[in-house]
Amino acid sequence: MPKILYIFLLSLTPISELRLSIPFGILHYKLNPFLVFFVSVIGNLIPPILILFFFKKISDFLSEKSLILKKFFQWLENRTEKQKEKTFKDNIKNFALSTFIGIPLPFTGAWTGALIAILAGFKIKDAIFSIFLGVLMAAILVTILTMLGIVISSNLNFLTILGLLTTIFIVGFLFYKKFKTKINF
């Protein structure tokens, strides 16, 4: 199988998405970062768009087959209708969804974003636009971090990197301890 096809298929998966396909394509296969970026973004956009367009048809089909699923999808539909009545501005919802998808952490990808858009009652065009911006943001961040990792690893040794990470952890921990009482979690 061609390497770029493997990167494309990897970006389609719900767990890894482009958070794995970009570093894998650049670091393991040594492919052109721009090509990996483009293929990963395209691959990562396909599943959420399909989810947005076909969720209703799939839920209707499954509701016919199972009483439990029928009750679940009715509950979900009622919840979605209630969410539509909330007074959030559309642009704030769009920004929040894009930011959620754009932060490259586990379970914050385009698949989850598409489901959130359905649950929050987004219009399909707004959801697609927000998902596109979020995927683009995540792809840029992952590509930059991957390339930065290459530069750091080629110019620094393991102990220096370990020291930097330890310092960052300690400073973050001290910052948290100092301001923990002022921030209510």
pLDDT band of residue 181 (cuts 50, 70, 90) is: low
pLDDT band of residue 149 (cuts 50, 70, 90) is: confident
pLDDT of residue 80: 74
Rg (CA), the chain: 20
Spatial distance between the Cα atoms of 61 and 59, rounded to a whole number of angstroms: 5
pLDDT band of residue 52 (cuts 50, 70, 90) is: very high
Alpha-carbon torsion (132, 19, 114, 6), positive or negative: positive
**What value, to the nearest 5°, has the Cα angle with vertex 48 and ends 12 and 133?**
100
pLDDT band of residue 142 (cuts 50, 70, 90) is: very high
Q: Phi, psi at residue 156, to the nearest 5°?
A: -125, 155
pLDDT of residue 83: 66
Distances (CA, A) of 170 to 42, 120, 145, 177: 39, 38, 21, 10
pLDDT in tens, 76-104: 888 777 766 665 667 788 999 999 999 98
pLDDT band of residue 50 (cuts 50, 70, 90) is: very high
Is pLDDT at 26 greater than 90 in this prediction? yes
pLDDT in tens, 118-129: 888 888 999 999
Mean predicted lDDT score pLDDT of the chain? 87
Q: Phi, psi at residue 157, to the nearest 5°?
A: -90, 175
Mean pLDDT for 125-145 is 95
pLDDT of residue 86: 63
pLDDT in tens, 35-48: 999 999 999 999 99
pLDDT in tens, 6-17: 999 999 999 889
Mean pLDDT for 53-78 is 89
